[in-house]
């Protein structure tokens, strides 16, 4: 499986490498670190998770909400958060 460096992923997704590091610090992603040099490497699954984070952020969810989604990992939770966010937006 192909692995990508942080700058490649950042460029591909249109976000900064520091944002990716922050998402890692929050526990939203867990890239593999190369044992030889300590650099983060990302596979397609990591890129998909980052894309989801970007999508939810653009939708208006907070990083705390996204962390809850990751922890619950159920569609019911996603539905509840989306409905709650929509209700708050409508107010």
The order of strands in the sheet holding 32-33 is 4-5, 40-42, 32-33
Q: What is the pTM of this model?
A: 0.79
Q: How far apart are CA 43 and CA 3, in angstroms?
A: 5
Give burial (CB, 10 Å; 0-12/13-18/19+) of 75.
Answer: exposed
3-state secondary structure of 41: strand
The larger pLDDT score, comparing residue 9 to residue 84, is at 9
The rounded percent of the chain whose pLDDT value lies above 70 is 90
**Could you report the per-residue pLDDT of 7-42, keeping only the tens digit for each?**
999 999 999 999 999 999 999 999 999 899 999 999
Q: How far apart are CA 91 and CA 5, in angstroms?
A: 42
**Could you report the per-residue pLDDT of 41-56, keeping only the tens digit for each?**
999 999 999 998 998 8
Mean pLDDT over each residue of the chain, to the nearest integer? 87
Nearest to 5 by CA among 17, 18, 15: 17
């Amino acid at each position: 499986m192909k692995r990508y460096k942080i700058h490649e992923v950042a460029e591909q997704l249109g976000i900064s490498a520091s944002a990716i590091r922050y998402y890692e610090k929050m526990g939203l992603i867990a890239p593999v670190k190369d044992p030889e040099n300590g650099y983060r490497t990302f596979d397609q699954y990591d890129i998909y998770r980052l894309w989801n984070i970007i999508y939810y952020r653009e939708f208006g969810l907070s990083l705390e909400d996204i962390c809850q989604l990751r922890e619950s990992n159920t569609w019911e939770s996603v539905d509840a958060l989306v409905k709650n966010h929509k209700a708050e937006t409508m107010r």
